[in-house]
Amino acid sequence: MTMDAEELTNVRAAYDREVRRDALPDTADARVERAGAVVRQTAAGPGWNGVLWSDLDEETADAEIAAQLAFFAAQGAGEFEWKLYGHDRPADLGDRLRAAGFVPEPAETLMVGRVDELAALPVEPPEGITLRAVTDEAGVDLMMDVHAQAFGTERPAIRHLMLTLLKNEPETLAAVVAMAGDTPVSAARMEMRPGSPFAGLWGGGTLPQWRGRGIYRLLVAHRARIAAARGIRYLQVDASPDSRPILHRLGFSTLGTTVPYIWTAKP
């Protein structure tokens, strides 16, 4: 059952607080800090750098954007992301980011579902499909192979993230590959931070010839059962246009939109 307006308001406030303002680093070798009116993460190598949360208005926004540009440039970051949500202020923050040289990627829908309901979904693997838990580098490489075919891009930063988590914090990651015999056909992961009521669902890529058979639904329910065993209350997804209607049918509710704004250092 989707959430009513009051619950959506409360869950969005909790998400802003738990996942954004009070964020934890996504790996042990990254750092999250509050710097004035923003919360940002810095990471070495291929790790993720970016702004997670901000508390700005028309008078402070441009100066804060300039301050973060200067900070990340001084860190030697080749790029960083300002993760903008539709309810962030000021209302024209996206325009201000573009004027400062950020490039927006396609908008995604921020969706949240209740773990107890999702874990109870009556889902069985489609015929010929088995699930393989990802616990080592070979499993990560299977996931990367699926994602390269499903999304058409290589994702070295995701590979680095998963290998780092498996090595240092395996309890924060649940990753799975759907196999058709010896062939990986779909893959997804869930990231869980200690003490948070939210877990994030990521990936969910399926090879084109295997879509429409219920594999995506299977991977959502599988991860929901893991989250339920950990006492997590909500699953969160930054949903693409393709996954949004599937998630809505499964019972996810829309909290808003999110757009990654990317700044890239000039050569």
Nearest to 247 by CA among 207, 215, 213, 220: 220
Q: Look up residue 35 and give its two tokens.
A: 């710097």
Nearest to 100 by CA among 75, 77, 70: 70
Q: Tens digit of pLDDT for each residue in 180-231?
A: 999 999 999 999 998 999 999 999 899 999 999 999 999 999 999 999 999 9
Q: Please report the sign of the dihedral spanned by the C-alpha atoms of residue 97, residue 37, residue 78, residue 111.
A: negative
Q: What is the DSSP code string of 150-208? A: HHSS--HHHHHHHHHHHHH-GGGEEEEEEEETTEEEEEEEEEE-TT-SEEEEEEEEE-G
Give residue 155's pLDDT: 84
Domains of the chain with CATH codes: 5-109+258-264 (3.40.630), 113-255 (3.40.630.30)
Nearest to 246 by CA among 222, 221, 217: 217
Q: Tens digit of pLDDT for each residue in 243-257?
A: 999 999 999 999 999
Burial of 20 (0-12, 13-18, 19+ CB in 10 A): middle
| pTM of the predicted structure, to 2 decimals | 0.93
CB atoms within 10 A of CB 25: 17
